[in-house]
Amino acid sequence: MVMVRKRLVLSLILLIAAYLGGLIPPYMKARRLEEQVSAGARQLQSCQFNEQLSRLRDDAALMYLAVSRKNYGIAAEHAKQLFDQAQQVSNTTQNQAVRSTLQEILASRDEVTADLSKGDAAVVGLTQSLLQKVQAVRQ
């Protein structure tokens, strides 16, 4: 009777050990894979944000180039794209420094748009200032 009981306890212990032996490795693997997916998602988000900032820089540079060539119509198109993109990034970013800089850029929207529509040559200095602010934006 004692032998049967010992055998039953030993069998139960072996059964639990086998169960845990089969459960723990897949759990650890799943956890490691979740961490990798999470890291990949963070990296993707960072790349998307950097791409948005690159578009801002491109639009600001193209706007400045068009203004310096006195092509105010094309400059106005690039200004619209710049301000729309700046608004979108400002609304979605968690980075307060980036948001603050983009709000400064957006504050000049009406002035830049009005000067471009008038074809005012003085807009060159304003667009240069915008370009410098956009270039200063970092993640």
CA distance 109 to 80: 9
Let me know: does 67 contact 124? Beta carbons within 8 Å: yes
Cα–Cα distances in Å, from 128 out to 2, 18, 25, 31, 125?
92, 70, 59, 50, 5
Task: Note the pLDDT of residue 139.
Answer: 54
Let me know: does 93 contact 74? Beta carbons within 8 Å: no
Query: Is the CATH number of domain 2-136 1.20.120.660?
Result: yes
Tell me, what amino acid is at 113?
T
- Residues with Cβ within 8 Å of 117's Cβ and at least 6 positions away in sequence, in order, are 72, 76
pLDDT profile of the chain (139 residues), mean per 10:
82 81 83 92 92 94 95 95 95 91 94 91 91 85
Let me know: does 63 contact 130? Beta carbons within 8 Å: yes
Task: Note the pLDDT of residue 16.
Answer: 84
Task: Note the pLDDT of residue 48.
Answer: 92
CA distance 66 to 75: 5
Domain ranges, ordered by start, for the chain: 2-136
